[in-house]
């Protein structure tokens, strides 16, 4: 299956390198808006057709006719126009922005449900890291409330990521509910300016009324192994923690009607594969790996 990429920044360039290694998809073109971008220069050196005229330039490239799926690695604001332009030519879209025009897709959780969708939204980097854990917990105990904190290195947050912080929090929170199964969701992102840059860390809190600790641990560990199939640097930092929660805890206001309960805390680290940015950019890696996994699955089923 042939693919094209819109966006020649950090995310699009990392995605290109991953796609070049794939045995299931062939990347043939990249579009950007900066003619001097490093991503377009690298794409040209690897024999891809390129354009610095954005989506308008992409649809005019000779190779575009052969493209099956377009992966959009631009911004939430640009995605609607990009999607409309390529879908007018009968192309499917995988959306790496938090625009959320299509169904939320997390490969380890619900990809099989959306293989026929014309536009698949990959939520956010924080969502790809944490929604599988919320889904794992909710599969064995109803999650009344889920809160996630994604901490990423400032160096790994490009202009698109910084412009989409509001969309990040909103889209991730909704996906925690719709895909993760939480009654209510909340998402926080932290751009960490530490030097040297720190590897992506994610903290997941789930409030449940009661649970079997053994079942929760087994479900979380199985989910981690599932995500590791396409993101090898994804791992637990320590054992899953369980804390009894009283009726007077502040979190009660976020889970109305709950009485007592257990807070399940999961601490994750995501080390990047360093296909483009260094290994600290796990946020970049998990997003592009999830998108490529989705494209490869579409190729497998001939969608």
Whether residue 41 is annotated as binding a ligand: the answer is: no
- Element containing residue 244 per DSSP (H, E): strand 241-244
Which of these, 146, 171, 158, 138, lies nearest to 288 by C-alpha position?
158
Annotation says 206 is catalytic: no
Using DSSP's 3-state secondary structure scheme, residue 181 falls into coil
What beta strand segments (E) does 32-82 contain?
Answer: 49-51, 69-72
Whether residue 283 is annotated as binding a ligand: the answer is: yes
Whether residue 158 is annotated as binding a ligand: the answer is: yes
Whether residue 74 is annotated as binding a ligand: the answer is: no
Query: Is-contact 200 280, C-beta < 8 A?
Result: yes
Whether residue 160 is annotated as binding a ligand: the answer is: yes
Rounded distance between C-alpha atoms, residue 139 and residue 258, angstroms: 19
Query: Is-contact 102 71, C-beta < 8 A?
Result: no
125, 223, 224, 286: the catalytic one is 125
Whether residue 161 is annotated as binding a ligand: the answer is: yes
Whether residue 156 is annotated as binding a ligand: the answer is: yes
Inter-residue long-range contacts of 85-92, CB under 8 Å, 24+ positions, other chains counted: 85/55, 85/56, 85/58, 85/59, 86/6, 86/55, 86/58, 86/59, 87/118, 87/119, 89/59, 89/64, 91/67, 92/68, 92/118, 92/119, 92/120, 92/298, 92/303
Rounded distance between C-alpha atoms, residue 221 and residue 303, angstroms: 31
Whether residue 289 is annotated as binding a ligand: the answer is: no
Whether residue 121 is annotated as binding a ligand: the answer is: no
Whether residue 11 is annotated as binding a ligand: the answer is: yes
Alpha carbon of residue 121 to chain centroid:
9
Whether residue 272 is annotated as binding a ligand: the answer is: no
Binding-site entries for NAD(+): 8-11, 156-164, 283
Binding-site entries: 8-11, 156-164, 283
Q: Which residues are catalytic?
A: 125
């Amino acid at each position: 299956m042939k693919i094209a990429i819109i966006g020649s920044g950090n995310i699009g360039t990392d995605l290109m390198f991953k796609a070049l290694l794939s045995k299931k998809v062939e990347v043939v073109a990249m579009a950007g808006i900066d003619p001097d971008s490093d991503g377009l220069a690298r794409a040209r050196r690897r024999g891809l057709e390129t354009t610095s005229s954005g989506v308008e330039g992409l649809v005019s490239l000779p190779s575009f006719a052969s493209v099956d799926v377009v992966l959009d690695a631009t911004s939430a604001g640009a995605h609607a126009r990009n999607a409309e332009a390529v879908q007018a030519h009968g192309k499917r879209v995988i959306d790496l922005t938090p625009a959320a025009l299509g169904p939320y897709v997390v490969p380890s959780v619900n990809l099989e449900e959306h293989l026929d969708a014309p536009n698949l939204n990959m939520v956010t980097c924080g969502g790809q890291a944490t929604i599988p854990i919320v889904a794992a917990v909710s599969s064995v105990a109803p999650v009344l409330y889920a809160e996630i904190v994604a901490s990423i290195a400032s160096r790994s947050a490009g202009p698109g990521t910084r412009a989409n912080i509001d969309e990040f929090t909103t889209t991730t929170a909704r996906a925690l509910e719709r895909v993760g199964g939480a009654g209510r969701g909340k998402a926080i992102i932290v751009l960490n300016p530490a030097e040297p840059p720190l590897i992506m860390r994610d903290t997941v809190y789930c409030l449940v009324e009661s649970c079997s600790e053994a079942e929760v641990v087994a479900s979380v560990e199985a989910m981690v192994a599932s995500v590791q199939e396409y993101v090898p640097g994804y791992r637990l930092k320590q054992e899953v923690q369980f804390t009894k929660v009283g009726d007077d805890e502040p979190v009660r206001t976020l889970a109305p009607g709950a009485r007592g309960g257990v807070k399940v805390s999961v601490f994750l680290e995501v080390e990047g594969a360093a296909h483009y940015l260094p290994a600290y950019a796990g946020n970049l890696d998990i997003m592009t790996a999830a998108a490529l996994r989705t494209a490869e699955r579409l190729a497998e089923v001939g969608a």
